[in-house]
């Protein structure tokens, strides 16, 4: 059995009064307003403490692989990346970890231009395919889509679906070429016969399976879903939506969806949890570990909604 830990949306966030004004001459000003005036900073005031507890728990649980689906920072400030890097330093160079950025990690164009995420967490952008193993038409976007071959049983595909956006827009987009590349990689000989898992930052839908808002969700979710359906993907992992939920496969969507929610949000209805997925002969079992503010530790949450065997016809790829 392969055990995969998945966490998301840590949101290490700078205290608003400590942010220099020169850093706010961009969309970050809107972020600062949300942090300081509308109270968003209070929701993530314990992210450093919770992040350290997360690392301690990962070291104790010892999963075979670890997946991060982004939003390690609040408004992609250099100071936030430095703090997040310090918090996650014990697993920075860990070869078990695969990570992709979230929209808050490329909050402004300068963060993407300066490659702040890549400079701090570029070691997590791991793929097991060399550029020579990628179809020639997609080599220019290598290493994405990332492909990790986990043991002898699992193929983990990860997408980059984030880019800087304008004010009041936090939507994502995979892009037609990356979707086409994913379609091709699903058929790659090294992925054949394995349980296929797809990771991205944005969700394909909300907890009730309704589409997310246009300015908050994945713009090309419909196109991506069509490709996923064709290739017997068993499970989709994501973040972005801070409320945890698990959706079982249906006839229309023959794959499970698991979003652990923000690992650090103090919103009362958020869980502050991460998932541990056990994959064994095509079947996937989901365990949940939740942060306890009293003990400042993560603990098992066996009664969590969606915990246990993810039911349905979880099919291996062709």
pLDDT tens digits for range 197-221: 999 999 999 999 999 999 999 999 9
Which residues fall within 8 angstroms of residue 188, CB to CB, at 6 or more apart?
129, 133, 147
User: Is there a domain that residue 98 lies in?
Assistant: yes
**Does 318 reside within a domain?**
no
Query: In which domain, by residue range, is 149 found?
Result: 2-309
Q: Is residue 316 part of a domain?
A: no
Residue 158 belongs to some domain of the structure: yes
Size of the chain in residues: 318
- Give the CATH number of the domain where residue 238 resides: 3.60.21.10
Residue 256 and residue 18: Cα distance in Å, rounded? 42
* Residue 151 neighbours by CB distance under 10 Å: 12
Query: Total structural domains in the chain?
Result: 1
Single out the residue of 89, 54, 49, 66 nearest to residue 4, CA to CA: 66
Do residues 9 and 42 make contact, with C-beta atoms less than 8 angstroms apart? no
Q: Is residue 314 part of a domain?
A: no
Residue 317: inside a domain: no
How far is the C-alpha of 295 from the C-alpha of 293, rounded, in Å?
6
pTM (two decimals): 0.96
The answer to the question of residue 26 being in a domain is yes
Confidence of residue 314 (pLDDT cuts 50, 70, 90): very low
Q: Is residue 315 part of a domain?
A: no
The whole-number pLDDT of residue 315 equals 40
- Report the candidate in 234, 176, 197, 178 with the shortest Cα–Cα distance to residue 69: 197
Where does the pLDDT of residue 311 fall: very low under 50, low under 70, confident under 90, or very high at 90 and above? low
């Amino acid at each position: 059995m392969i055990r995969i830990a998945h966490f998301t949306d840590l949101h290490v966030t700078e205290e608003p009064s400590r942010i220099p004004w020169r850093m706010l001459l961009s969309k970050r000003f809107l972020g600062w307003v949300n942090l300081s005036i509308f109270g968003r900073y209070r929701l993530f005031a314990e992210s450093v403490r919770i992040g350290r507890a997360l690392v301690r728990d990962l070291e104790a649980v010892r999963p075979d692989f670890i997946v991060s689906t982004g939003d390690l920072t609040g408004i992609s400030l250099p100071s936030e990346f430095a703090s997040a890097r310090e918090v996650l330093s014990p697993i920075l160079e860990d070869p078990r970890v695969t990570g992709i950025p979230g929209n808050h990690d490329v909050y402004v164009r300068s963060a993407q231009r300066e490659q702040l995420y890549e400079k701090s967490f570029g070691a997590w952008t791991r793929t097991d395919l060399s550029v020579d193993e990628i179809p020639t038409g997609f080599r220019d976007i290598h290493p994405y889509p990332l492909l990790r071959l986990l043991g002898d049983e699992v193929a983990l595909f990860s997408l980059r679906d984030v880019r800087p956006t304008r004010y009041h827009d936090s939507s994502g987009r995979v892009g037609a070429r990356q979707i086409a590349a994913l379609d091709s990689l699903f058929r790659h000989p090294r992925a054949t016969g394995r349980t296929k898992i797809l990771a991205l930052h944005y969700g394909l839908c909300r907890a009730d399976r309704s589409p997310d808002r246009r300015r908050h969700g994945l713009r090309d979710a419909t196109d991506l879903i069509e490709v996923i359906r064709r290739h017997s993907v068993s499970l989709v992992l994501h973040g972005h939506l801070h409320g945890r939920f698990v959706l079982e496969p249906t006839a229309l969507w023959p794959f499970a969806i698991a979003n652990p929610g923000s690992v650090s949000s103090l919103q009362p209805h958020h869980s502050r949890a991460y998932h541990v997925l056990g994959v064994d002969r095509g079947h996937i079992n989901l365990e949940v570990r939740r942060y306890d503010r009293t003990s400042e530790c993560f603990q098992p949450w066996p009664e969590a909604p969606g915990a246990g065997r993810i039911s349905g016809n979880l099919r291996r790829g062709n």
